[in-house]
Amino acid sequence: MRATVIHAPHDIRVEEVPDPRVERPGDAVVRVVRACICGSDLWAYRGESARKPGQRIGHEFLGVVEETGSEVTGLRAGDLVVAPFMWSDGTCDYCVEGLNTSCVHGGFWGSIGEHGQSDGGQGEAVRVPYADGTLVKLPADALSDDRLLTALLSLSDVLGTGHHAAVGAGVRPGSTVAVVGDGAVGLCGVMAARRLGAERIIALGRHQARTDIARLFGATDVVAARGDEAVAAVRELTGGQGAHAVIEAVGTEQSMRTAVGVTRDGGAIGYVGVPHGSGTGLDLGEMFDRNIALRGGVAPVRAYIPELLPGVLDGTLDPSPVFDLAVGLDGVPGGYRAMDDRTALKVLVRP
């Protein structure tokens, strides 16, 4: 089959790789119908996260089950399924608690582990370990609804990750929320905050195409400034106090500093931007003096899919506008370039 491979920073290729097949009795093979490129893929693309030359990439996909191993009981060939961005067994202590990202048998698509190279999501098909624990079945008729398929794909990562940030930030009915980061996750954080009942949602962002989506998703205010000016603007909008719940969806030193600055004393930062620069940007002294909590991390999106799926199916949650460029598999290298240049927000892949 053909799949996306990263050879070096800025060197993404689509190549012939071995066809996936059932290797263990809990496996399924899924033919990919929709995949996409994630902001976090760009860390590898830019060389800021290490990858082996020739490693597979891509961790968001939905598709149709082609084949299942002998121990798979909940799925069969022909099922439409969505995969979260990690696989998990669904049965260990952590999975049972809903922290599937800490699954004792879990792993990332495209990673190289003890069983060798796993398939990435940006390819024609994927071997899915622990298929019963990992995959979530979708209504088959979604296959004929292009807009819905795109919205459902967001369950693979960005919608669940935005939700995790909103939960970590402690968004409640009536909350004032600030969202740092205007990428797909930040925008989904706006949507998740609105779903949780936030009364006021302040989106920080300077690109009108993105802030227009933020408003569509529920943002009541937009702050176009950055850094100290953004902090001052959010404080001005909130009677000098800041937002009780802050979503941090970038992961840089600057963004974390902004997040701390816009948080109200006693409030919380829900952080889901993959940290780059360990500990930097976290002024623990300021957080201590003002009792600011930090809660979040890699989002257990598998656990959130059952909660979020009904809203996506009935259209009340529609993150599809974050996908502003669609490509075929051959277009994936160009899709990375477009996201790196910020000419595309999030790239949809139809293999």
Binding site for its own copies (CB under 8 A): 93-94, 97, 99, 101-102, 168, 241, 265-266, 268, 271, 274-275, 278-285, 287-298, 300
- Closest approach of its own copies to the CB of residue 206, in Å: 25
Of 39 and 296, CB closest to its own copies: 296
- Closest approach of its own copies to the CB of residue 240, in Å: 10
CA distance 204 to 200: 13
| Distance set, CA 246 to CA 126, 170, 172, 263, 274 (Å) | 36, 9, 12, 6, 16
- Closest approach of its own copies to the CB of residue 260, in Å: 10
CA distance 249 to 275: 10
- Closest approach of its own copies to the CB of residue 261, in Å: 14
Contacts of 152 (CB under 8 A, 6+ apart): 34, 62, 82, 138, 142, 309, 312, 313
Q: Are 110 and 59 in contact (CB under 8 A)?
A: yes
- Closest approach of its own copies to the CB of residue 164, in Å: 9
Of 168 and 189, CB closest to its own copies: 168
Of 170 and 205, CB closest to its own copies: 170
SS (H, E, C) 239-257: CCCCEEEEEECCCCHHHHH
Quick one: 49 exposed, middle or buried, by C-beta within 10 A (0-12, 13-18, 19+)? middle
- Closest approach of its own copies to the CB of residue 19, in Å: 32
- Of 88, 79, 41, nearest to 60 by C-alpha is 41
* Unique residue bearing structure tokens 């910020």: 342
Of 2 and 295, CB closest to its own copies: 295
Of 164 and 210, CB closest to its own copies: 164
Tell me 56's DSSP state: E
- Closest approach of its own copies to the CB of residue 279, in Å: 4
CA distance 351 to 349: 6
Of 32 and 294, CB closest to its own copies: 294
Please name every residue paired with 28 in a beta bridge, in sequence order, or none if there are none: 68, 128
CA distance 31 to 227: 44
- Closest approach of its own copies to the CB of residue 266, in Å: 4
Of 43 and 74, CB closest to its own copies: 43
Of 1 and 298, CB closest to its own copies: 298
Contacts of 337 (CB under 8 A, 6+ apart): none
Widest CA span of the chain, in angstroms?
61
Of 5 and 243, CB closest to its own copies: 243
